[in-house]
Amino acid sequence: MPEVDLTIEICGMSGDGTIAAGGLLNAALSKAGFFLMAFDSYPAEIRGFGRCVTRSRVGMEEMLALASETHVLISLDDEQSLSRVPFLAKNATVFFDNRPPSFVEEGRSIAAHVGPDVTLLGVPFRDLTARATGTTRGRNLTALGAFAGAFDLPPGPFHEIIRKKFDPKGEKVVLANIKSFDAGLQYAREKLDRSAKGIFPVPQKTGEETDRVLLSGNTAIARGALDAGLKLYFGYPITPATPIMEYLAKALPEKGGRLLQMEDEISSIGAVLGSFYAGGRAMTATSGPGLSLMTELITHGVMAEIPAVIIDAQRGGPATGLPTKTEQSDLHAAVFGGPGDSARIVIAPTNVSECYGYTVKSFQIAEKYQTPVIVLTDFFLDNRVENVGMPRAVPEEIFDGNVYPDPSLKDRYRRFERTESGISPRSIPGMEGFLFTTTGLEHSEIGVPDYAPQNHMLMSDKRHRKITGAMADLPAPREFSKGGSLKVGVIAWGSTFGSALEAVRKAEKKGIRAGALKITSIFPYHADIIREFMARCGEILIPELNYEGQLANLIGHLFRKEVQRLDRVTGEPFPASIILEKIESLAK
């Protein structure tokens, strides 16, 4: 089967139906059996102005990252789409509406700006939609139909997905949208020059039944939490974490749980701690500004040894920053934020599957080690869509990660007993004979305030011993290389890892001995494994979407010399091409 690696962009103004069209495209292509990774970019403002772009990378193999070049651009609004022209690949194809509602001055059509290598396909989106349905509202679907027609994609999966999406709105709406799609499809089949360079029939994947599902990072997190036995969700809306709350608002009550929108992030984390304190699995999700508000209570969880699961969906910062742009700049805050020596567990998934798996794991770990767990994601990871294998059934044992006190300890129970592992058996309020006191003050083994120097030393050591021990349950760094000594080793975390791995694989194809190390346990981190990898590398490169090189600050000291930092704060996902360039220059 020929290799397909196609990046398709749809670009329009807010309200053009850009994001909706992208969602339908992704669902249909996934249904048709392709692997894909998709990401939407939209303005922070609610509606009415601003550019929306959906990007879908489609292929026959699992996608690691978005591509930096676009092969097909579907322009729903030329003025907005002009900004996408510089990203067009050589011999790209552009679909645009060649019957706009009014005349435009020279240069205001995308036709004036594309290079001569680009195949420009004018399709009267508005006219076709109006003729098919009597309104121009479905022109995003018409554009999608034109794309499908030009590239010989079967309409079946599109029809099915359109029906599924619009079914709640009634048959009339379903048919109108199918008609819009078909109008574009028919036009492309009959009128467009499909022999043009840049257009080719996309090979079909046949005979393969797939159980893959299309999930965003946020949806995967919400589903992971549900499968882990989430009972209560407390949150305050904030981009890019809000979709988790939206999903759970519907799904959690159906499973007997409750969701409560709190007045702010402080009360949200407070309620999560209260819930876990009482034995109920709870979660909150926020972004950088919310995490900073939660900081004091997170450290309360550390001190009082109360589990909590906090999703920090990172966005551009500091402060309100860039609400709809991606960044990985909360690492310092997640690992070190807050008063005192308040070590907590921080894990960072690198793809949508891990968003699911690590959310499940975070509940188990939070309970077992009786401490807050922060799951660090980012805007790109939260909002990107991948078609992933159906999550496997969650093992029974993770439904209760608690270490309960032995019944023989009844009436002799010491809630904060200094054990070898640092983990003290934990009772749940209401367990007869296992009463205890909880406080955010430094306390003795039975939980009463105790500021004695020796006690603070011992209790601090107990809490940190516990965190260090958690490494056994946390995912170890995973190396992707041919082994042995490497010219360049790339260490990456979060959504950047996919780009790093793609760059490393391309470097290997160019004959460079390169390798990638994926780090998902941000704190505590597996220093021995990282050090062993670093020792085999001539250079260590750490690409990150932040200005300060926050992971490099955390683990850079493990390398015998200065690590190479590659820091970007463009608000966009890390392009693999830039990492590849750096690898090549380091390998010289």
Partner 1 sequence: MSGQHFLVIGNGPAGNEAALTLREKAPDAQVTIISRNLGGSYCPHLIPDYIAGKIPEECLFVVTPDAYTDKNIKFRHGQRVVDLDPMKKTVILDHKEVIPFDGVIIAVGGKPRIPEYLRVFEDSLLTLKTVEDARIWVSMLPETDSVLLIGGDLTSFAVSKALIHLGKKIYFMLTEHAFWPLRPDGALLDEVSQRLACRGVEVISGKRLKSLTRPSGKCVAARFDDGYELEVGMIGAFYGLTPDIDFLRRSGFRMDRGVLVDEFLHTGFEGVYATGDCAQIYHPDLRDYWVSIGHANAVILGRTAANNLLGGEDQTAVVAESIFEVEGINVNTSWWMEF
Binding site for partner 1 (CB under 8 A): 96-100, 102-106, 108-109, 111-112, 115-117, 119-122, 193, 195-197
Report in angstroms how near the CB of residue 390 gets to partner 1 at its nearest. 42
Residue 216 CB coordination number (10 Å): 25
Q: At what angle do helices 171-191 and 155-166 cross, to 10 degrees?
A: 160
The conformational region for residue 15 under phi > 0 = left, psi -120 to 50 = alpha, else beta, is left
DSSP string, 289-313: HHHHHHHHHHHHHHHHT--EEEEEE
Give 407's Cβ-side CA count (13 Å radius): 0
User: Considering beta carbons, is residue 2 or 101 the nearer one to partner 1?
Assistant: 101
DSSP string, 70-103: EEEEEESSHHHHGGGGGGEEEEEEEEE-SS-SS-
Report in angstroms how near the CB of residue 108 gets to partner 1 at its nearest. 7
Backbone φ and ψ of 466, nearest 5°: -65, -45
Report in angstroms how near the CB of residue 215 gets to partner 1 at its nearest. 38
User: Considering beta carbons, is residue 115 or 170 the nearer one to partner 1?
Assistant: 115
User: Considering beta carbons, is residue 174 or 199 the nearer one to partner 1?
Assistant: 199
Report in angstroms how near the CB of residue 192 gets to partner 1 at its nearest. 10
In total, the chain counts a number of residues equal to: 588
d(CA 92, CA 97): 17
Map 345-361 to HEC letters.
Answer: EEECCCCHHHHHHHHHH
Report in angstroms how near the CB of residue 186 gets to partner 1 at its nearest. 16
The conformational region for residue 387 under phi > 0 = left, psi -120 to 50 = alpha, else beta, is beta
User: Considering beta carbons, is residue 2 or 116 the nearer one to partner 1?
Assistant: 116
User: Considering beta carbons, is residue 97 or 327 the nearer one to partner 1?
Assistant: 97
Report in angstroms how near the CB of residue 198 gets to partner 1 at its nearest. 9
Report in angstroms how near the CB of residue 109 gets to partner 1 at its nearest. 4
- For residue 85 the two structure tokens come to 């022209």
Of the candidates 492, 457, 473, 482, the one whose C-alpha atom is nearest the C-alpha of residue 567 is 492
Report in angstroms how near the CB of residue 101 gets to partner 1 at its nearest. 9
Mode of pairing for the β-strands spanning 70-75 and 5-13: parallel
Mode of pairing for the β-strands spanning 345-347 and 521-523: antiparallel
Report in angstroms how near the CB of residue 92 gets to partner 1 at its nearest. 13
User: Considering beta carbons, is residue 113 or 205 the nearer one to partner 1?
Assistant: 113
User: Considering beta carbons, is residue 59 or 122 the nearer one to partner 1?
Assistant: 122
User: Considering beta carbons, is residue 117 or 528 the nearer one to partner 1?
Assistant: 117
d(CA 182, CA 402): 56
User: Considering beta carbons, is residue 187 or 533 the nearer one to partner 1?
Assistant: 187
